[in-house]
Amino acid sequence: MLRTLLPRRAPARPLVTQFGAANTFGPSLGVSAGQRWRRGYASEADEKDLVIIGGGVAGYVAAIKAGQAGLKVACIEKRGSLGGTCLNVGCIPSKSLLNNSHLYHQILHDTKKRGIEVGDVQLNLQQFMKAKDQSVEGLTKGVEYLLKKNGAEYIKGAGAFADEHTVQINLNEGGERSVRGKNIFIATGSESTPFPGLTIDEKRVITSTGAIALEQVPKKMTVIGGGIIGLEMASVWSRLGSEVTVVEFLGQIGGPGMDAEIAKMTQKILAKQGLKFKLNTKVASGDVGSDAIDLKIEAAKGGKEESLDADVVLVAIGRRPYTAGLGLENVGLETDERGRLVIDHQYRTKIPHIRAIGDVTFGPMLAHKAEEEAVAAVEYVTKAYGHVNYGAIPSVMYTYPEVAWVGQNEAELKAAGVKYKVGTFPFSANSRAKTNLDTEGMVKFIADAQTDRILGIHIVGPNAGEMIAEGTLALEYGASTEDVGRTCHAHPTLAEAFKEAAMVCYDKAIHY
């Protein structure tokens, strides 16, 4: 049965592994005689209801939620600022760069046709980066305030398991501290996956971390990986003047989650903006010279080798769970072949009071997925129930235009043998898009052929990242395309394209 057809309140995550009877019930809050003996290593003040290792989105949200529930909480983070990869070197700073680079590109190439003539336009990269840093600083301080507001203790340091209830912390300010927890959450997130043969220095061979902090615009940039992160950073530096080539092993951009029809349309749009693509292509090797980086590339299935030179190479082939230095061996926890901590549907490891949430375990590595898991995991501790619908988690690529989707794509449904119908509506037929002179893209609905229940929604176009929220809500509540099509949408708005695509699925559009 499809995940989207599961009852709304039933956990859609399959049981990853089965444990013994001791793990069948709620969290174990008691301690053994040996554990009571070890208590002397920590003071009474260090006894917590919940200890969270990691202060990224999963960790800090869990800390806030647990504090709201009245639990005594400690959140341990070694970075020195809360928010993890997302807030410090990922989602947030990259969106600042994407937004401001789009404004710069629009002034250079798009305002004249709108009757706005601009004189000499200059890029001040230092101020460009400062604006990004100010956004990050304000938000990280805001998160720290929220922890304090909700009574959660924030400990700056690196935490590792000493035993099943004790976390030993190397404090950033020096010294050590032990904290004991009745419950412990592992929320240590993920890191960029390295590329064999290329050493990351974050200056010339970079990950997304280096891509948001370059000190000058490279003349040539090669991006290894045509997924969301690679394409977003490719867009930023292309807009600022770099000649960017994207090398992707698969036959489409955007990764396997993006619908093939949407991916093809998006590639054409990005190519018109100046990005170059080499699909079905693999990087065989790389040589970092003093003047340039020489990559040897060839067809994914084998073929003639060719060279590709660049000043900067961005490695964006995905991310992997981060568990280094956690002391998992001290409590007998192991990871699977992909480095993920194995959990059950309540996020419990084989040690029931130790749970794992976010990028460090199964599922898409998305900040909003991690946030939902954080809330659910705390609810399992405090109420013995929680809920995340893994069939209704949206994805967004913040290129221009944006690409967003939720639910299943055509390839997945074909593989599952599900009969479906499709309805599409182009932004070129939408009145608001026309007045904005921003008409590229479309909205696509996929629905069950018999019941009309929505199975997936895919959008490429202006405001797609905001519009997908309506689609996620519709999917969460089991709506049909007719439910959406018969819901009044304000005029003139881009969201009318959403309504009309739904109408195409069950009947006919009005304006196309």
Domain segments of the chain: what residues?
47-111+123-192+321-383, 205-317, 401-506
For residue 7, the model assigns a pLDDT of: 35
pLDDT in the model for residue 256: 86
Domain 47-111+123-192+321-383 falls in which CATH fold? FAD/NAD(P)-binding domain (3.50.50)
> Which residue numbers belong to the known binding site?
95, 159, 188-190, 225-232, 248, 318, 359, 365-368
Residues of the binding site for NAD(+): 225-232, 248, 318
Residue ranges of the annotated binding site for FAD are 95, 159, 188-190, 359, 365-368
pLDDT of residue 482: 98
* CA pseudo-torsion sign 301, 302, 308, 310: positive
Instruction: Report whether the peptide linkage leading into residue 492 is cis, meaning its omega lies within 30 degrees of zero.
Output: yes
Cα-trace Rg, the chain: 24
Query: What superfamily in CATH does domain 205-317 come from?
Result: FAD/NAD(P)-binding domain (3.50.50.60)
Q: Cβ neighbours of residue 508 under 8 Å, at least 6 residues apart?
A: none
Number of Cβ atoms within 10 Å of the Cβ of 168 = 19
Contact 427, 440 (CB under 8 A): yes
pTM as predicted: 0.90
For position 46, what pLDDT does the model report? 83
The tens digit of pLDDT for each residue in 42-53 reads 444 489 999 999
Name the average pLDDT for the chain: 92
Residue 32 has pLDDT above 70, yes or no: no
> What CATH architecture is 401-506?
2-Layer Sandwich (3.30)
Residues carrying an active site annotation? 491
Distance CA(371)–CA(364), nearest Å, equals 12
Provide the pLDDT confidence category of residue 470 given band limits of 50, 70 and 90. very high
Tokens describing residue 486: 């018969």
Structure tokens at 476: 């969460």
State the average pLDDT over residues 482-493: 98
Q: Residue 122 corresponds to which tokens in the numbers above? A: 């200059």
Beta partners for residue 337, in sequence order: none
Burial of 207 (0-12, 13-18, 19+ CB in 10 A): buried
Distance (Å) of CA 24 to CA 209, 333, 334, 350: 41, 18, 20, 11
Note whether 47-111+123-192+321-383 and 205-317 share their fold: yes
Which residues are CB-neighbours of 163 under 8 A, at least 6 positions away? 35, 38, 330, 331
The values of phi and psi at residue 511, to 5°, are -105, 25
DSSP 472-492: HHHHHTT-BHHHHHTS---SS
Q: Look at strands 281-288 and 293-299 and give their pairing.
A: antiparallel
Confidence of residue 34 (pLDDT cuts 50, 70, 90): very low
Mean pLDDT of 439-464: 98
CA dihedral 455, 480, 373, 414 (to 10 degrees): -10
What pLDDT, on the 0 to 100 scale, is given for residue 41?
42
Q: What is the pLDDT of residues 201-241, one digit of tens each?
A: 999 999 999 999 999 999 999 999 999 999 999 999 999 99
